[in-house]
C-alpha cells in the first residue's frame, strides 16, 4: 500500500532581499525540488506531523522566478545541521556572546582606569600595566576570533583592517610592553590602554544590538564618530611607546642578532622598530580610510537628500 501524500508544515520568513522557507521534516530522503515559472514544487519522504510519509506541497509566487534564482535552487541540498533560519540564529547568538565578552572586558578596564585616575591622579599611570595586563592579554588574544570571522565569512567585515589592528595592538602589548619590564612602568601604557578601551566600549555594544536587529541612534552615531579623534590619539600613543622602547632595546640587546660570517654585522632590534613606526602610520591610514567609508555609507545618503 502506497504511503499517503501529505502536506508538511512550511514556515515563511523574508528579510531584506532574502527569502527563507523552512519545511518541518526530519530524516528527509530523496527530496525533489523544482520551480516551474512562478511555482515552487517540493516532494520528499520524511518524518513530519503525520509520521513517516511522503510529503508534498506547491507554493505559488506573485511573479516569475528569474533564471539565476532557478540555478541557485538547483544547488540546494538539505543538511542535517538545521534550517537556514536556525543557522542564522546560532550565528547571531555566537556573535552576540563574543561581543558581550569583549564589551565586559574593555568596560572593566575603562572603568578601573578612570576610577584609579580620579583617586590616585597621575600616580595611577605608572602601574597601569600591572593592574590591567591580564585582562588586556585576554581581550587581545580573544580578538583573534574577530579576524577569523572576517576571513571565513562569518562577518562581512574586510579582513585587512581587522588584521592590521590585531597585529598592531598585539605587537605593542606582547613585544613592547610584555617583554620589557622597563616599559611596564611608563605612563604611556595608561594612554595606550585607555584609548583602546574607549574605542571598544562603543564598538562592541553596537555590534551586540546589530545581532538583535536593533539600532540605538546615539550609540550608532558614537560608533561611527568617536574613532575620528581616538584612532589618531591611539596611534600617537603607540608611536610614543615604540620610540621610548628603542633605547631600552638597544641597552639590553634583546631580539638583536649578528649576521653570519663573512658579514658579521650586528642588527639591532631598534632598526625594525623604526620600520614599524612607518608601518604604524600606514596602518592608521588604511583603517582610517576604511572607517571613513563606513561612516559615509551610513550618513552620506541623508546629506545627499538634504542637498
Task: Give the whole-angstrom CA distance, residue 204 versus residue 141.
Answer: 16
| Whole-Å CA distances, 277 to 82, 94, 103, 130, 140 | 49, 36, 29, 25, 21
Q: How far is CA 73 from the centre of its chain?
A: 30
Q: Give the chain's end-to-end CA distance (angstroms, integer).
A: 72
Quickly count: other Cβ atoms within 10 Å of residue 124's Cβ. Answer: 19
User: Exposed, middle or buried by CB within 10 Å (0-12, 13-18, 19+), for 172?
Assistant: buried
Question: Does residue 136 contact residue 173 with C-beta atoms inside 8 Å?
Answer: yes
Task: Give the whole-angstrom CA distance, residue 168 versus residue 196.
Answer: 12
Classify 51 as helix, strand or coil.
strand
Task: Give the whole-angstrom CA distance, residue 77 versus residue 210.
Answer: 29
Of 94, 137, 210, 231, the catalytic one is: 231
Backbone angles phi and psi of 267, in degrees to 5: -105, 115
Cell of 80: 542535517
Q: Is 204 a catalytic residue?
A: no
DSSP per residue, 158-169: -HHHHHHHHHHH
Q: Is 231 a catalytic residue?
A: yes
Of 204, 207, 238, 276, the catalytic one is: 238
Task: Give the whole-angstrom CA distance, residue 40 versus residue 107.
Answer: 50
Catalytic residue ranges: 231, 238
Amino acid at each position: 500500500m502506497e504511503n499517503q501524500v501529505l502536506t508538511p508544515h512550511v514556515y515563511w520568513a523574508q528579510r531584506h532581499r532574502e527569502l527563507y522557507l523552512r519545511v518541518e521534516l526530519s530524516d528527509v530522503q530523496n527530496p525533489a525540488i523544482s520551480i516551474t515559472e512562478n511555482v515552487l514544487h517540493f516532494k520528499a519522504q520524511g518524518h513530519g506531523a503525520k509520521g513517516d510519509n511522503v510529503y508534498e506541497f506547491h507554493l505559488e509566487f506573485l511573479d516569475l522566478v528569474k533564471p539565476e534564482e532557478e540555478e541557485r535552487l538547483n544547488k540546494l541540498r538539505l543538511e542535517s545541521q538545521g534550517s537556514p533560519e536556525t543557522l542564522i540564529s546560532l550565528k547571531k547568538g555566537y556573535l552576540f556572546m563574543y561581543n558581550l565578552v569583549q564589551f565586559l572586558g574593555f568596560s572593566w578596564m575603562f572603568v578601573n582606569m578612570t576610577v584609579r585616575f580620579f583617586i590616585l591622579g597621575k600616580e595611577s599611570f605608572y602601574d597601569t600595566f600591572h593592574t590591567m595586563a591580564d585582562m588586556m592579554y585576554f581581550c587581545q588574544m580573544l580578538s583573534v576570533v574577530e579576524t577569523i570571522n572576517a576571513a571565513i565569512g562569518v562577518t562581512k567585515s574586510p579582513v585587512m583592517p581587522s588584521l592590521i589592528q590585531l597585529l598592531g595592538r598585539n605587537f605593542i602589548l606582547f613585544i613592547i610592553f610584555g617583554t620589557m619590564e622597563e616599559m611596564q612602568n611608563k605612563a604611556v601604557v595608561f594612554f595606550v590602554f585607555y584609548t583602546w578601551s574607549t574605542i571598544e566600549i562603543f564598538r562592541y555594544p553596537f555590534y551586540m544590538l546589530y545581532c538583535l536587529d536593533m539600532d540605538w541612534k546615539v550609540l550608532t552615531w558614537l560608533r561611527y564618530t568617536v574613532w575620528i579623534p581616538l584612532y589618531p590619539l591611539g596611534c600617537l600613543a603607540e608611536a610614543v611607546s615604540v620610540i621610548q622602547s628603542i633605547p631600552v632595546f638597544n641597552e639590553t640587546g634583546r631580539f638583536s642578532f649578528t649576521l653570519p660570517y663573512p658579514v658579521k654585522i650586528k642588527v639591532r632590534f631598534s632598526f625594525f622598530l623604526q620600520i614599524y613606526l612607518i608601518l604604524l602610520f600606514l596602518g592608521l591610514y588604511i583603517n582610517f580610510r576604511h572607517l571613513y567609508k563606513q561612516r559615509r555609507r551610513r550618513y552620506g545618503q541623508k546629506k545627499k537628500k538634504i542637498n
